[in-house]
Amino acid sequence: MNLKAALLGGGSWGTTVASLIARNAPVTIWARDETAVAEINESHSNSKYLPGARLNSKLVATHSIEEAVAACDVLVMGVPSQHFRDVLEHATQYLRPWVPVISLTKGLELSTRMRMTEVINEVLPGHPVGVLTGPNLAREIIAGQAAASVIAMEDEIIVRELQQLFHSGLFRVYTNTDLIGCELGGVLKNIIAIAVGMGDGQGAGDNTRSALITRGLSEIIRLGVAMGGRPETFAGLAGMGDLIATCTSPQSRNRHVGFELGKGRSLKEIIDEMVMVAEGVKSAPTVMALGEQYGIEMPITHDVYSVIQGEMTPRQVFRGLLKSTVGAESEPG
C-alpha cells in the first residue's frame, strides 16, 4: 500500500497491530520506553509485553511522537484511556489535516464519560475516526493464530480502504459502519469479564460462567442500543465475540482481575503487580453513571462496581445473585 501509518503506544496490542500493519505498509510505532524502542529496532521483539514473540522486521520504533506522526497517512492510537487525550493532543501539532485516526483502546474517559472516538473528534475535529475491535488476544495473534476483528467507521469508502491496512494472513478484518456499537462492545465486555472472573476465582462452574456471559450480553445490548448502537452489532465480533474471548481466556487482563478478587486478594495488590492496564476497573464507575443517565438497569455492572469500590466482597455478590428474584429473560437481573 502507498499509505504510511503511525501507531502510538508500545503495549502488547499496539505492538501486535503495528507488526501486522508492517506486512502491508510502512509503519512507525511510538513508545515511551526508550529501552523498548531499542529492542524493537535491534531485536524485533518487545519482551516486556510480548515475551518470546518475533515482530515483523520492517517495523520501525521511535521515542519521538513527531518522528512517528509527521509524515503519516493514518494514525492508530494504542494508548490506555486515561492517557489517550494527553498523547493525542501532543500528536496534533505534527499531524497533517484530514488524516484518519483509528482507536484500539477499549475504555472510557473518566472525567467526561466519552468514548475514545468522541475524544478524537473533540481534539481533532474534521479527521475521520474509527475503531479496530473484536476478540483479539495479542499473544495468540502475534504467534500467528487465526483471528478476526472489525474496523468500524461511519464512512463506508474510507473504512474499506483502511480494511486493507489491517487485514493480514490469518488476521481477518471485517468492516462495520456502526461506530458507536462496535466501540461500546469493546468497552462494556471488560466489566462483565471481571464478574465472570470473580465467579471462576470462587470455583464456579461452566453453567455459572455461561449464565453470567449471557446475562452480561443482555446488559451490554440494553445500554449500547440506548446510546445509539445497532442491536445486531452486539451479536457480532465486536459484541459477543469479544465478550466470549475476554470472559474465558486466561490471557484476559480483566478476567484475571476478577479471578484474583474471587480468590480473596485486594484490588490494589492485583493492580500493582500487573504490567498492563485492565480497562474494566477504570471504566466501571463511568459505565454505572451512563446506565443511570440512560435509565438502564445493569445489575452485573453494579455488583462489579460495588466490589471495586470495596462496598461488597465477591462472595457477597454471588450470594446476592443466587437469592435475587427472576422474571422474564428479556428483563434485567
323 is catalytic: no
Can you tell me the distance from the alpha carbon of 235 to that of 230, in angstroms, rounded to the nearest whole number?
Answer: 10
Q: Beta-carbon neighbour count of residue 78 at 10 Å?
A: 26
3-state secondary structure of 200: helix
Q: Beta-carbon neighbour count of residue 216 at 10 Å?
A: 24
Helix ranges (DSSP H) in the chain:
12-21, 34-43, 65-69, 81-92, 116-123, 138-142, 156-166, 179-201, 206-226, 242-248, 253-262, 267-272, 279-294, 299-308, 314-323
DSSP state string for 201-241:
HTT--HHHHHHHHHHHHHHHHHHHHHTT--GGGGGSIIIII
Beta bridge partners of 101: 75, 129
The angle that helices 253-262 and 279-294 make with each other, rounded to 10 degrees, is 90
CA distance to 87, 189, 193, 196, per residue, from 214 (Å): 36, 11, 12, 11
Can you tell me the distance from the alpha carbon of 11 to that of 22, in angstroms, rounded to the nearest whole number?
Answer: 16
List the Cα angle 289/105/68 in 5-degree steps.
140
CB 61 within 8 A of CB 21: no
3-state secondary structure of 70: coil
Q: Which one from 189, 263, 282, 323 is the annotated catalytic residue? A: 189
**One-letter amino acid for residue 194 of the chain:** I
Phi, psi of 115 (to 5 degrees): -70, 160
Active-site positions? 189
